[in-house]
């Protein structure tokens, strides 16, 4: 059990981060805290993707570092695709966070509170 956990530590950590983010979204009614929760969840996914692309003893996936075709014992490269996914996901989570914070600011200006329970008007 311990061995499995320690070998898969990044994945365990990313699952934990996901749960922390979900906790904030499920139990916190402050809009800023919800935005923080979403950011944490985004980081969990980023960590998951980066861990997915990692190979032990691998080199950075740069074109000019690539071993020649047919080289013996050529060091393997880390997978570049998950890193590209992570970059895009970071960009998107930046946009989401910015929008979320500006909407929170607007909510505060309209209702004078950041508490979703007090600010909420749509129901039923």
Partner 1 sequence: MIELVQHFPALAIGVPLAFAFLLPLLKKWRNSAVIAALAALAVTEFLALFILQDVLQNGIRIYSMGAVVPGLATPEQMAVPVRILLSIDAFSAFMGAVAATIALLAGIYSIHFIRESHSKYFSLLLLMLAGALGLVFTGDMFNMFVFFEVLSISSIGLIAFWLHRAEPVEAGFKYLAISAVASIFVLFAVGLLYGQHGVLNIAGLSRSTLLYGFAFTDIIALALLVCAFSMKAGAAPMHYWVPDAYGEAPAAVTAMLAVASLASLYALFRIAFTVFGATPLIELVAFAVIIFGVLSLFLGATMSLVQKDLKRLIAYAGISQTGFILVALGVGLAAIHNTPLQPFGAMAMEGGVFHVINHAFYEALLFLCAGAVFLRTGTKDLNELGGLARRMPFTAFFFLIGGIAIAGLPPSSAFASKILIYESVYFFNPLIAVIALVSSVLVVVPMVKAFCAIFLGPEIGKFKKVREVPGAMLFTMLVLSALVIIFGLFPGAIVETIVSPAVNALLSQSAYVGGVL
Partner 2 sequence: MLGLDSIGAAAWNPAVMALAFLVLLLLVLALRAFGRGDFAKDKLKTQPFLSGNAPTEKNRVRADNFFWGFFEALRPYYRRASNVHSGLLNDYIFWFAFCLALLLIALYAGVSLWA
Partner 3 sequence: MTEEGLSKIVRTVALLLTAPITVLGLYIIAHGHLTPGGGFQGGTVIATAIALMLVAFGSKRVKKAVGKEVLSATESLGLIAFIAIAFLGMGSTFFSNFLANAGGLLGMSIPSGANPGTINSAGTIPLMNFAVGIEVASALSLVLLLIYFSGEKEGKKGGGKK
Q: Which residues bind partner 2 (CB under 8 A)?
A: 22, 25-29, 34, 116-117, 120-124
Residues that bind partner 3 (CB under 8 A): 62-66, 68, 87-88, 90-91, 94-95, 98-99, 101-103, 105-106, 109
> Sign of torsion, CA 35 38 42 48?
positive
- The yes or no reply on residue 30 touching partner 1 (CB under 8 A) is no
d(CA 85, CA 5): 25
Nearest approach, Cβ of 36 to partner 2 (angstroms)? Answer: 14
The footprint of partner 1 on residues 3-22 (CB under 8 A) is: 18
How far is the C-alpha of 17 from the C-alpha of 13, rounded, in Å? Answer: 6
Contact criterion met (CB below 8 Å) for 61 and 77:
yes
Q: How far apart are CA 90 and CA 96, in angstroms?
A: 10
- Cβ distance to partner 2 smaller for residue 37 or 53: 37
For 44, list phi and psi in degrees, rounded to 5.
-60, -45
Residues lying near partner 1 in the complex (CB under 8 A) = 18, 25, 31, 34, 38, 41-42, 44-45, 48-49, 52, 81-82, 85, 88-89, 92-93, 95-96, 99-100, 103-104, 106-107, 110-111, 119-122, 124
């Amino acid at each position: 059990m311990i061995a499995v956990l320690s070998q898969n530590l990044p994945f365990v950590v990313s699952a934990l981060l996901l749960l922390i983010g979900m906790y904030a979204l499920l139990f916190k009614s402050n809009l800023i805290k919800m935005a923080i929760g979403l950011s944490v969840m985004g980081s969990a996914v980023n960590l998951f993707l980066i861990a997915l692309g990692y190979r032990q003893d691998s080199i950075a996936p740069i074109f000019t570092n690539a071993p020649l075709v047919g080289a013996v014992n050529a060091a393997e490269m880390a997978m570049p695709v998950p890193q590209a996914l992570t970059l895009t996901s970071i960009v998107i989570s930046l946009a989401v966070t910015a929008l979320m914070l500006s909407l929170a600011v607007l909510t505060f200006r309209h209702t004078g509170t950041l508490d979703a329970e007090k600010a909420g008007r749509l129901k039923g």
